[in-house]
Amino acid sequence: MATPSKAQLLTDVQALLKKRYKVAPAVEKLTILEAVVYGICHEDSTREQANQALAKFKDGFFDWNEVRVSSLEEIQGVLATMTDVEGRAFRIRRFLRQLFEKTYGFNLEPLTKKPQKESVKALEEYDAMASDFVLATVTRLALQGHAIPVDASTLRALTRLGVVEEATDIPALRSSLERAVPKNRGLEFSELLEELAHDTCVEGEPDCPRCELRKLCPTAEAKKTESASAKSTKAPKGKAGKAKSAD
Ligand code: SF4
């Protein structure tokens, strides 16, 4: 995927999306624990929803131990605006429980001093990291690494844009994106892609006529051709119909 044409396509995508969306200021550096919770909240949700949820955890609970011992219903209350609140609440509490069982505390910051590969390996022991999106979020926001998190929403947009080859798994796709988009553009690229996935390239029918990428997107092109051919097959029938009634 890191062929010049794919890299160029991604550069063009970024330049076009920049015309339409304003990228919000970057999230301040998070601790590893906060980045895990943020990642779980942010997967297939907007940045705003994830920011609000993290703020509610930090302001509405005494500490992370209180979240750990809370009922799932209480945690779900923080996530109310998102999809899959049950699954997210379970994953957050499971992570806090695992962390406490392993460390008797809630501090993973010593990992930020280690080489990134070593930190990632240690983090992979937690079930929350089964999601590559969460792992990439932690890598970017807490370990300050180059990572472009991909969730189902951004995968959908990348597939429609023809960036993803069939049967590419998310970790493989992510590393190919990270090779094609340099670190200094990575954050902006991710955020613009998220905007696209939650604005026009939504689940179900994408809103291609309103999309900035419609001229380079194969899906938009295919839809246009399909609708033109549907119109042209209807037209002769209409004429024939008129001709018949005129007879
Ligand atoms: S043109 Fe349509 S399918 Fe292509 S990225 Fe935009 S919304 Fe998605």
pLDDT, tens only, 152-206: 999 999 999 999 876 679 999 999 999 999 999 999 999 999 999 999 999 999 9
Helix, strand, coil % (nearest 5) of the chain?
Answer: 70, 0, 30
Q: Does 160 sit in the ligand 1 pocket, CB within 6 Å?
A: yes
Is it the case that residue 247 has pLDDT exceeding 50? Answer: no
What CA–CA distance (Å, rounded) separates 136 from 138? Answer: 5
Give the model confidence (pLDDT) of 211-227 as tens digits: 999 999 999 999 988 88
Is 208 in contact with 152 (CB distance < 8 Å)? no
The pLDDT of residue 42:
97
Q: Does 206 sit in the ligand 1 pocket, CB within 6 Å?
A: yes
Q: Does 219 sit in the ligand 1 pocket, CB within 6 Å?
A: yes
In the chain, the domains with their CATH numbers are: 4-199 (1.10.340.30)
The pLDDT of residue 243:
42
CA max distance for the chain: 89
What CA–CA distance (Å, rounded) separates 161 from 13? Answer: 9
The pLDDT of residue 162:
92
> Percent of the chain at pLDDT above 90?
82
Q: Quick one: CA dihedral 80, 134, 123, 130, positive or negative? A: positive
Is 32 in contact with 142 (CB distance < 8 Å)? yes
Rounded to the nearest angstrom, the distance between the alpha carbon of 14 and the centre of ligand 1 is 13
Residue type, 156: R
Which residues have C-beta within 8 Å of that of residue 162, sequence separation ≥ 6?
Answer: 9, 217, 218, 219
What CA–CA distance (Å, rounded) separates 209 from 220? Answer: 8
Question: Going by CA atoms, what residue is nearest to atom 4 of ligand 1?
Answer: 217
Q: Does 153 sit in the ligand 1 pocket, CB within 6 Å?
A: no
> What is the number of the ligand 1 atom nearest to the C-alpha of 160?
3
Rounded to the nearest angstrom, the distance between the alpha carbon of 220 and the centre of ligand 1 is 6
Give the model confidence (pLDDT) of 49-68 as tens digits: 999 999 999 999 999 999 99
The mean pLDDT of 108-132, rounded to a whole number, is 97
Confidence of residue 29 (pLDDT cuts 50, 70, 90): confident
Task: Provide the mean pLDDT of the chain.
Answer: 91
The structure's pTM equals 0.89
Alpha-carbon separation of residue 160 from 53, 132, 236 (angstroms):
30, 21, 32
Q: Does 75 sit in the ligand 1 pocket, CB within 6 Å?
A: no
The pLDDT of residue 240:
46
Higher pLDDT, 98 or 232: 98
